[in-house]
A and B are shown apart, each in its own frame.
Chain A
């Protein structure tokens, strides 16, 4: 038998993290990553 502890007003949730902002920031960082590897691909084929 497993149980859970319900924490009302969890302090962790005080820090707001809107989904669309999280998705956008991840997409932006992934774009940076892809852009960087593509840049090196270009440099090595000049």
Chain B
């Protein structure tokens, strides 16, 4: 059979399945007809669906290809930049998600306005969208490029097809469709990526030959350097603490117990799996020592010939689609609930809001696809927004949940967000040579002298903690009662 015909059949089956699930859940959405059902699956999702979806959300094409490139460059020490997400995910499930479920919120900016005014909501919105839109933009373009390489057609037609499929099943089925397709995609990713390691080791001559052929340092957990490893770990944790897409899965769970168990098992599954792309990178380095890190995954994917290569490209596409669908739904909730419903049309009916959410979702994904065309580094570019969010929004969000006193400090919380994000941006610009160096070597990971998040986090925490103590020290009971009455009004 012709390879392109084979790929076409596989793709029709895969895309058709995803669209069918979207259509199936669109009937359920129509029956329910409310925004809560569209964005949070009616807060009734079961354990296996939430856990599977969490796993698939954390695994994108950038994770597989980018981390494989990182593994090729720095070995398993790159795991510090990935596994930390899961430590934070499991921890969030135990302590933060049950608290958030009691607050009744849908988005992080909405949580900010619960205690403060519109200014906090807007800053939180900008910081949240910076992360999510960066993820969508970088992964939509990667998805289109995979399709383009597979069928040899242009980038624009590839974007229309791939982005069209994701938009169709997400816009029609909402969160239910995203959760179910994510779970199916999680199984495809788990099997499809892990299998490359034993295949590669056998190709390299068996485990002992493979181990002795590993270049010096690539088997060391500290090869990227202690400072960079700690920077990655902190950045990963704080990205997760404020990552709406993950938090919304906890809000979508049917009860507290389901949310906690889903975060634990979904996080554990991902913690174990996350070493896979780095190991794949090491395998690629042993077998193909003269390629660039960006070529590592795709070169290894063709190890069993072109037909198996098609399967590994489908794995990559599954991972991209699961992440995009989750993030566009989160961004849709931001645009429609935090902007449209909050500032433009507060009286909008639920039915009309769902219609607007569907239109907004399509607009976001199309806009991001075109923005993504300008982004050359898939992994780092989605980390730029992530770092800014981690250094500005996440510490404030976390302390508001855990430290009731901070809920009475509007100035400290506001300026902590601004100064933390500003610190990350400044450090990122100051160390721009890291990106230039990476560009020169065809690398996919930038090694900073001081990770920008290590600059932003201390600034944010200092402003927040000192500011909260100063701002709240003279607040009397009468003063608080006055504000409580204001809140009820």
Residues on A with C-beta less than 8 A from B80 are: 37
The reply to whether A22 and B95 form a contact with Cβ atoms under 8 Å apart is yes
The reply to whether A15 and B99 form a contact with Cβ atoms under 8 Å apart is yes
Q: Which residue of A lies closest to B480 (CB)?
A: A6
Majority SS of interface residues in chain A? helix
B410 interface residue, CB < 8 Å from A? yes
The distance in angstroms between the C-alpha atoms of A33 and B87, with both chains bound, is: 7
The distance in angstroms between the C-alpha atoms of A22 and B241, with both chains bound, is: 14
A5-B115, A44-B211 known; A12-B91 Cβ under 8 A: no
- Contacting A11 at CB < 8 Å: which of B102, B116, B221, B483? B102
Residues on A with C-beta less than 8 A from B76 are: 37, 40-41, 44
- B44 smallest CB distance to A (angstroms): 20
Interface residue ranges of A8-43 to B (CB < 8 Å) = 8, 10-15, 17, 22, 25-26, 29-30, 32-34, 36-38, 40-41
The reply to whether B408 and A4 form a contact with Cβ atoms under 8 Å apart is yes
Interface centre among A5, A33, A34, A45 (most CB of B within 10 A): A5
- A11 smallest CB distance to B (angstroms): 4
The reply to whether B83 and A5 form a contact with Cβ atoms under 8 Å apart is no
Residues on A with C-beta less than 8 A from B207 are: 46
B298 interface residue, CB < 8 Å from A? no
Q: Which residue of A lies closest to B282 (CB)?
A: A44
B351 interface residue, CB < 8 Å from A? no
A15-B102, A37-B79, A40-B279 known; A3-B483 Cβ under 8 A: yes
Interface flags for B477-489 (1: CB within 8 Å of A; 0: not) read 0001101101100
The reply to whether B409 and A4 form a contact with Cβ atoms under 8 Å apart is yes
- Contacting B483 at CB < 8 Å: which of A6, A13, A17, A45? A6
The distance in angstroms between the C-alpha atoms of A37 and B81, with both chains bound, is: 12
Interface flags for B277-293 (1: CB within 8 Å of A; 0: not) read 00100100000000000
- Of the listed stretches B26-34, B399-407, B444-452, name the one at the interface; the rest are far from the partner chain: B399-407
- B343 smallest CB distance to A (angstroms): 17
Residues on A with C-beta less than 8 A from B86 are: 33
Residues on A with C-beta less than 8 A from B83 are: 33, 36-37
> How many chain A residues touch the partner (CB < 8 A)?
30
The reply to whether A40 and B95 form a contact with Cβ atoms under 8 Å apart is no
The distance in angstroms between the C-alpha atoms of A44 and B211, with both chains bound, is: 6
Residues on B with C-beta less than 8 A from A26 are: 87, 91
The reply to whether B220 and A41 form a contact with Cβ atoms under 8 Å apart is yes
Residues on B with C-beta less than 8 A from A40 are: 76, 79, 221, 275, 279
- A45 smallest CB distance to B (angstroms): 5
- A13 smallest CB distance to B (angstroms): 6
Majority SS of interface residues in chain B? helix
Q: Which residue of B lies closest to A38 (CB)?
A: B221
Residues on B with C-beta less than 8 A from A11 are: 102-104
The reply to whether A4 and B91 form a contact with Cβ atoms under 8 Å apart is no
The reply to whether A46 and B410 form a contact with Cβ atoms under 8 Å apart is no
The reply to whether B484 and A6 form a contact with Cβ atoms under 8 Å apart is yes
The distance in angstroms between the C-alpha atoms of A13 and B218, with both chains bound, is: 46
Residues on A with C-beta less than 8 A from B410 are: 2-4
- Contacting A3 at CB < 8 Å: which of B102, B116, B211? B116
A2-B119, A44-B211 known; A12-B401 Cβ under 8 A: yes
A17-B95, A26-B91 known; A7-B219 Cβ under 8 A: no
A26-B87, A36-B275 known; A7-B407 Cβ under 8 A: yes
B98 interface residue, CB < 8 Å from A? yes
The reply to whether B407 and A4 form a contact with Cβ atoms under 8 Å apart is yes
Residues on B with C-beta less than 8 A from A7 are: 114-115, 407, 484, 487
Residues on B with C-beta less than 8 A from A3 are: 116-117, 410, 483, 486
Residues on B with C-beta less than 8 A from A10 are: 103, 404, 407
Knowing that A37-B76, A44-B211 are A-B contacts, what are 11 other residue pairs whose CB atoms are under 8 Å apart, sorted by A's residue number?
A: A5-B487, A6-B486, A6-B487, A7-B487, A10-B404, A17-B95, A33-B86, A36-B271, A37-B83, A41-B219, A44-B218
A-B contact pairs, 13 of them (CB 8 A): A2-B119, A3-B117, A6-B408, A6-B480, A6-B483, A7-B487, A15-B99, A25-B91, A33-B86, A36-B271, A37-B221, A44-B218, A46-B208
Residue positions of B touching A, CB distance < 8 A: 76-77, 79-80, 83-84, 86-87, 90-91, 94-95, 98-100, 102-104, 114-117, 119-120, 207-208, 211, 214, 218-221, 271-272, 275, 279, 282, 401-402, 404, 407-411, 414, 480-481, 483-484, 486-487
